[in-house]
Amino acid sequence: MNIQSEELRTFVAVVEAGTLSAAAEVLEQTTSGVSRALSRLEEKLGASLLTRTTRRMELTEEGEAFLEQARAILAAMEQAEETVRMRTRKPVGKLRVDAAVPFMLHCIVPHVGAFREAYPDIELELTTNDRFIDLVEQRADIAIRIGELQDSTLHARPLSSARLNIVASPAYLSRHAAPESVEALEQHPLIGFSQPEILNHWPLRHQAGDRYQTRPALRASSGETIRHLALQGQGIACLSSFMTDADIAAGRLVRLLDQYDSGFRQKISAVYYHNTQLSRRISCFLDFLQCKL
């Protein structure tokens, strides 16, 4: 039967990407080339692995059984290849990293110089989005995501977690007495997110539970915009510690209602597709970043 590893990679890529054209983008091949490789594999196996529709492809029963084995074979091959590569050469090539604006500015950009010095042959390409993106559509190799993960087709690596700080500027507190209870927040202008609404549920213990649903008087789509509004004295905000710890240490922001903190922490994770050619670059970047968080 003589099945080739590239045929296995093509099959797995089509399943994970959902369409031939999307898989072709991931594999940096033509759509027709991907289609031919998939057809050759099915011919060698004597079975149809995918049913094709105008919009997506779905696994057949045989395809589901074969997918698990194909992934296991590729993983074993990759592990063997990586063991040799790590001994013989440094990682080389482009690595596209996407993150929300605040995380990019506060947690990645300050360390880019050190990363480039450690790995001069990795060419970083940084993009920012304040929403969850499609890696294939945005041509990203890694996406840093804050909060709970939903994608089941992506590999995920936990990196850290972040406390949420309730903060206001000294200028604001000079005009308004600091709230002494969670309920007292209703007497203050609050700065929140335009979406998703769950970000406006602050991790504060009160009579009704440990999440306090706020009614922001001022909303923005980006955490970095909210941070600047808080710095300008426009109200009280709830933001991740990685965005506000430096401001608090410098006295630009003041943390409020610490005694009511519910202990909630935002998860910080990296998500990516399993790709043999990229895996060394991904692991180098994530190992480096995790040490900085």
pLDDT at position 153 is 67
**Is the predicted pLDDT of residue 201 greater than 90, yes or no?**
yes
Q: Which of 55, 88, 121 is the last residue in one of the domains? A: 88
Buried b (16+ CB within 10 A) or exposed e, 35-56: bebbeebbeebeeebbeeeeee
Q: Which residues constitute the domain of residue 239?
A: 162-264
Do 279 and 134 belong together in one domain? Answer: yes
Q: Which of 40, 61, 88 is the last residue in one of the domains? A: 88
Whether the full predicted model's pTM is greater than 0.85, yes or no, is: no
Do 180 and 224 belong together in one domain? Answer: yes
Do 251 and 175 belong together in one domain? Answer: yes
Instruction: Identify the CATH number of the domain in which residue 260 sits.
Output: 3.40.190.10
Number of domains in the chain: 3
Instruction: Identify the CATH number of the domain in which residue 82 sits.
Output: 1.10.10.10
Band of the pLDDT at 45, cuts 50, 70, 90?
confident
Do 174 and 245 belong together in one domain? Answer: yes
Do 167 and 260 belong together in one domain? Answer: yes
Do 175 and 241 belong together in one domain? Answer: yes
pLDDT at position 268 is 95
DSSP 8-state secondary structure symbol assigned to residue 233 = T
Do 192 and 129 belong together in one domain? Answer: no
- Count CB neighbours of 125 within 10 A: 12
Q: What is the mean pLDDT of residues 114-128?
A: 94
* Gap between the Cα atoms of 223 and 273, Å rounded: 27
pLDDT at position 137 is 64
**Is the predicted pLDDT of residue 14 greater than 90, yes or no?**
no
* Gap between the Cα atoms of 71 and 55, Å rounded: 24
Do 177 and 250 belong together in one domain? Answer: yes
The H-or-E segment that residue 125 falls in is: strand 122-128
Do 243 and 193 belong together in one domain? Answer: yes
Cis peptide before 189 (omega within 30 of 0): no
Do 50 and 188 belong together in one domain? Answer: no
Do 146 and 72 belong together in one domain? Answer: no
pLDDT at position 204 is 97
Bridge partner list, 164: 240
Q: What is the mean pLDDT of residues 126-148?
A: 80
pLDDT in tens, 233-290: 999 999 999 999 999 999 999 999 999 999 999 999 998 876 645 678 888 999 999 9
Do 139 and 281 belong together in one domain? Answer: yes
Phi/psi of residue 273, nearest 5 degrees:
-85, 150
Note whether 245 and 47 are within 8 A (CB). no
